[in-house]
Homo-oligomer: A and B are copies of this chain.
Amino acid sequence: MSTTLLAAPAAVSAASLAHRYQQVRQRTVLLCQPLLPEDTVVQPMIDVSPPKWHLAHVTWFFETFLLKAYLPGYSVYHPEYAFLFNSYYNSLGSRVNRADRGTLSRPALADVYSYRAHVDAQMARLLELADTLPDTFRELFELGLQHEQQHQELLATDIKYILSTSPLAPAYLPASVAPAAATAAPAVAWLPVPGGVSRIGYEGTGFCFDNEQAPHDVLTPDFELQNRLVTNGEYLAFMEAGGYQDFRYWLGEGWDLVQTQGWEAPLYWTLHEGQWHRFTHHGLQPVNMAAPVTHVSFYEADAYAHWAGARLPTEPEWEVAARYFGATPTHGTFLESNLLDPQPLPTDADPTRCHQLLGDAWEWTYSAYHPYPGYVRAAGALGEYNGKFMINQLVLRGGSCATPVSHIRLTYRNFFHADKRWQFTGIRLAR
């Protein structure tokens, strides 16, 4: 991994590295605390990984890239764990088929926690040596933490999917965390964004993923962007207008899915006694019409945009606009709020400002996840981190209610296939 791709973190003391390590690692454990051992094992669809696997995989990442590389005399905790908890690194050998992660009851959850404790203890030892280690150590350490934060978001969404499969509709959040109250969303406004040549991509000195580089100029047209996310209420109007029954709004491959999968609403929506409900981290709840719509595929986002006489923004447009509007995470909903659902915009939100750009819901763009000009895939296993996925996926921007706030950036490029719905994916319109 080259220092030109992952900027080295600013020089910080070993103690503060250890503190940050503990904080990130603890958040993962906290996320799993409401779960039963049974919940941590299953894989109800191939995109979802068992929470037990997440807990171990992020630990394996530290063991493999840091302890084995930098801690003198370290030997692995268990010889089979690399086979069990390697995700997709061909450089690191064979591994359990992705579709079979949910067939493994062992190692038990308690064993995985022991593994975490072991690696944490060894990492503490290693971090004491931090000042003696090369820059690449700090880069890899930061990457390990960012990697674990990515899995925190996946944990939040995978847990939701896991619990949703039971007809018992169990709640993950305690009753003390109330769902957002139903209100009216403020009217949407179109905000102009001037065109021209702008620079996008990461240029700072902190951490970024290699896919955010190299920074480069883009040319965008004059366009307008909606000042908030599309709401459940607006999306319901599309549904009630026959949106899922009219092929004219849809891309061909999306229309095929509507037919074969029987889509007629976003994921997690269900009619219950004549009223639309959604499965949430609170269990089944009436749909809050003022809240942003989520769990829609790119196909649904695009079809909605067609129906609404608008379109989705491109990736360069989104980043240019976000910089233009000076988006910051100040107001968004992130993982730390523990709300785990995007929140309605207050009725009195300023109509001249652009809201919800960071946090709440990932925003589908109509841009393929391809390499930026000047992108270079790293050598070794970390070259597989991002680069090999740069085909057949679309870029999403802005983070969601399940993204750790310290993990998001204006330049952050998330990516999913057009048919995926289990993430907090939403819609913002352009024209």
Q: Which residues of A contact B (CB under 8 A)?
A: 36-44, 52, 80, 83-84, 88, 90-91, 100, 102-109, 162-163, 165-168, 170, 197, 216-219, 221, 247-248, 250-255, 298-299, 302, 306, 366-368, 370-371, 373, 377, 383-384, 388-392, 418
Contact = CB atoms under 8 A, between A and B. Distances in A.
Given A102-B102, A197-B219, A368-B370, A108 B167 contact: no
Q: Which of A83, A163, A253, A388 has the most CB of B within 10 A?
A: A388
Nearest to A252: B388
A36 B170 CA distance: 22
A28 to B, nearest CB: 18
A123 B318 CA distance: 50
Contact of A44 (B84, B103, B166, B377): B103
Nearest to A298: B391
Nearest to A104: B166
A38 B109 contact: yes
Contact of A391 (B170, B216, B254, B389): B254
Given A42-B104, A197-B219, 4 more contacts: A36-B37, A39-B106, A44-B100, A252-B388
Q: Which of A40, A100, A105, A163: most chain B CB closer than 10 A?
A: A105
A122 to B, nearest CB: 21
A351 B367 CA distance: 36
Main secondary structure of the interface of A (DSSP, over half): mixed
A87 to B, nearest CB: 11
Given A39-B105, A165-B104, A388 B219 contact: no
B38 A52 contact: yes
A223 to B, nearest CB: 9
10 contacts: A38-B109, A44-B104, A83-B167, A91-B247, A107-B166, A250-B388, A252-B388, A252-B391, A253-B392, A366-B371
B197 A388 contact: no
B368 A38 contact: no
Contact of A41 (B42, B167, B168, B367): B42
B80 A167 contact: yes
Nearest to A246: B90
Contacts of A368: 367-368, 370
A419 to B, nearest CB: 10
Q: Which of A37, A84, A371 has the most CB of B within 10 A?
A: A37
Contacts of A84: 167
Contacts of A384: 252
* Max chain B Cβ within 10 angstroms of own Cβ: one of A52, A83, A298, A392: A392
Contacts of A255: 90, 388
B80 A36 contact: no
Contacts of A388: 250-252, 255
Contacts of A218: 219
A165 B43 CA distance: 15
Listed residue (A44, A103, A221) with the most chain B CB atoms within 10 angstroms of its CB: A103
A231 to B, nearest CB: 25
Contact of A389 (B88, B90, B252): B252
Contacts of A418: 391-392
A167 B389 CA distance: 29
Given A84-B167, A216-B221, A43 B103 contact: yes
> What 3 A-B pairs have minimum CB-CB distances, sorted nearest first?
A368-B368, A44-B103, A219-B219
A201 to B, nearest CB: 13
